[in-house]
Chains A and B, each alone.
Chain A
Amino acid sequence: MATETTTRAKLRWGLLDAVVVVFALIPVLWIASLSFKTPATLTDGRFIPREWTLDNYRTIFDTDQFVRALVNSIGIALIATAVAVVLGAMAAYAIARLDFPGKRLLVGVSLLIAMFPQVSLVSPLFEIERQLHLFDTWPGLILPYITFALPLAIYTLSAFFKQIPWDLEKAAKMDGATQGQAFRRVIAPLAAPGLFTTAILVFIFCWNDFLFAITLTSTERARTVPVALSFFTGESQFEDPTGAICAAAVVITIPIILFVLFFQRRIVSGLTSGAVKG
């Protein structure tokens, strides 16, 4: 390892680290700070609130608008994640383990979809979903989310699957385990971390979407939080929506912060292995 880790070098790196951390966190802390300000001090322009209050949070959880959107966001993202991970795992297993014609075509198609301009789908999907009565429903959003999450899931999972020592399965069978036991006891535990990492990445993607959510919904039936947030603006229901918007923004940021805090290593390895490494 490094032989001359002088205090000076450590200090220099520490300073750089601090710069990165500050830049990454300031906008998050700012919106959190706004969400705790009282209406009277909201426009004082100070970074740290002078008076703290939880009123903004009470307001949003009292309105149907936000609670419905939160339920929609969670439900849609969870279902889309589950389906995308299952379909992705099937395809990734085939890509990592089996030899069949068309494999490269599938990988190529996934790559094309990863590069696809989503806005190009907005007009046709709007019309198609209206005809199929999928417009403004959960499945109407889940379908495009699955589609655009699949390339991510397939790349990440096939990278993980390639690293699994599959010979262990054979060894377990030689030791008398059945096919099912070998899968459950040996392969599943090895594959679980990869599946879990992929699920986090896919969930973040679905949780984040704004374009599909704003074009393919029109009421509270399927509207997700990012869209509901943008509609808080100018509603007569709140005198000044700023505090409410910030509180809602903080609420939907919490899961992201938790993922990042607890699974930083997994997310980094998932993103780097799926994207570039061979």
Chain B
Amino acid sequence: MSVNATPTGADVAAQAERAGGRHAAVPTQRAGRRRPPLSENKRAERRLGWLLCAPAALVMLAVTAYPIIYSVWLSLQRFDLRFPDEREFVGLENYLTVLTNEFWWTAFGVTALITVVTVAVELVLGMGLALVMHRTLVGRGIVRTAALIPYGIVTVVAAFSWRYAWTPGTGYLANLFSDGAPLTERASSLAIIMLAEIWKTTPFMALLLMAGLALVPEDLLKAASTDGATAWQRFTRVMLPVMKPAILVALLFRTLDAFRVFDNIFVLTAGGNETSSVSMLAYNNLIRGLNLGIGSTMSVLIFITVAIIAFIFVKLFGTAAPGSSDDERR
């Protein structure tokens, strides 16, 4: 079971750790074991394996690894498409410019706030939704179908729906809850952006958590119940420990995803009133400003931030699933 490419929570953790932490060490790692001469069959199997994986691997690397390296190179240059003649190597100047810029830090703060709030709310709501989808006695199909709609719907479409809902005069929500124009004020705009994000992505969180719920043994719950455990105790003492790996996977993916927030902000506020996320700011510098140097610098900084977040989670994974990581086979 442990030599398994499909990730269980622990496998994902182990893989992420290998891929993230020990990047360079991977090829040499297995050099020590299994040295006997390969049979003809074995060798054919290896060749077929490589052949089958090569196209996917090549595409993935060509479209991500090369551009990100190129992006680092671009970020070290003054490169504004409006003034192509002034292109020159400037070292870390762009990083200095971005990191001392208040817009960058405002956007960074907004992104971090949105990420933390939405993921926290989604975890709670997603857990509730997962329980409903998993345990409901009636209408299970209907609930699951309904929950998939926010997951599947185009984010831009949902964002327009929220925008018109909060437009004074036009919207049913604006008329009910506010007398001003909520999308023209910073605090209410941010709240609406978060509402839109939470609506859209809670079902995904719930589906990942539901996969964890399915792993909770029914007998264990029954046993706890006969021993007099309350529903809350069954949840915290029985379900949560079993689900821990699934919860961490869900949190990791949602956190990284939330940090990329772009579509909703673009449609709801276009970044007005200091509601830009870092993605929005990078987009503005590139497409509106045509400043490739600064745009690339932001790209690299976002990449590094995401790598740090992933690294922290992987460290958490490591302690969350001791023994199930495959250290013993190394």
Contacts and interface: CB of A to CB of B under 8 A. Distances in A.
A241 to B, nearest CB: 10
Contact of A108 (B9, B16, B52, B53): B16
B259 A117 contact: yes
Interface string B50-72: 10110111011101101110110
B16 A256 contact: no
Contacts of A90: 52-53, 55-56
Contact of A34 (B138, B164, B295): B164
Interface string B133-152: 00111110111111111101
A257 B153 CA distance: 8
Interface string B4-45: 111111011001101110000011001000000000001001
B56 A124 contact: no
B5 A95 contact: yes
Contacts of B253: 114-115, 275
Contacts of A2: 137
Contacts of B70: 124, 127-128
B26 A108 contact: yes
Contacts of A272: 207-208, 210-211, 214
Contacts of B138: 10, 13-14, 17
B134 to A, nearest CB: 11
B98 interface: no
A28 interface: yes
Given A24-B146, A123-B296, A276-B212, A260 B152 contact: yes
Contacts of A260: 145, 148-149, 152
Contact of A117 (B63, B148, B156, B302): B302
A89 B154 CA distance: 26
Interface string A12-52: 01101100110111011011001000000011011100000
Interface stretch (A55-63, A154-162, A174-182, A184-192): A154-162
B160 A249 contact: yes
Contact of B68 (A106, A121, A210): A121
Interface stretch (B116-124, B168-176, B183-191): B168-176
Contact of A87 (B49, B59, B302): B59
Contact of B6 (A114, A159, A271): A159
B53 A117 contact: no
Nearest to B295: A123
Nearest to B58: A87
Contacts of A274: 6
A171 interface: no
A17 B139 contact: yes
A236 interface: no
Contacts of B150: 24, 27
Given A27-B161, A277-B214, A123 B174 contact: no
A144 B66 CA distance: 13
A14 B139 contact: yes
Interface string A41-84: 01101110000000000000000000000000000000000000
B286 interface: yes
Nearest to A157: B6
Contacts of B50: 100, 102
A96 interface: yes
A47 B173 CA distance: 9
Interface size class of B (residues with CB under 8 A): 35 or more
A15 to B, nearest CB: 10
Contact of A101 (B30, B59, B282): B30
Contacts of B299: 119-124
A210 B207 contact: no
A219 interface: no
A264 B56 CA distance: 28
Interface string A259-278: 11100100110011111111
Nearest to A264: B145
Interface string A121-139: 1111111100000000000
A256 B152 contact: yes
A110 B60 contact: yes
Contacts of A172: none
B165 A30 contact: yes
A253 B53 contact: no
B224 interface: no
A135 to B, nearest CB: 12
Contact of A120 (B68, B263, B267): B68
B51 to A, nearest CB: 8
16 contacts: A30-B165, A98-B52, A99-B42, A105-B19, A115-B252, A115-B256, A116-B303, A119-B299, A120-B302, A122-B283, A124-B68, A126-B286, A146-B59, A211-B283, A268-B210, A276-B211
Interface of A: 2, 5, 9-10, 13-14, 16-17, 20-21, 23-25, 27-28, 30-31, 34, 42-43, 45-47, 87-88, 90-91, 93-96, 98-128, 143-144, 146-147, 150-151, 154-155, 158-159, 162, 204, 207-208, 210-211, 214-215, 225-226, 229-230, 242, 245-246, 249, 252-253, 256-257, 259-261, 264, 267-268, 271-278
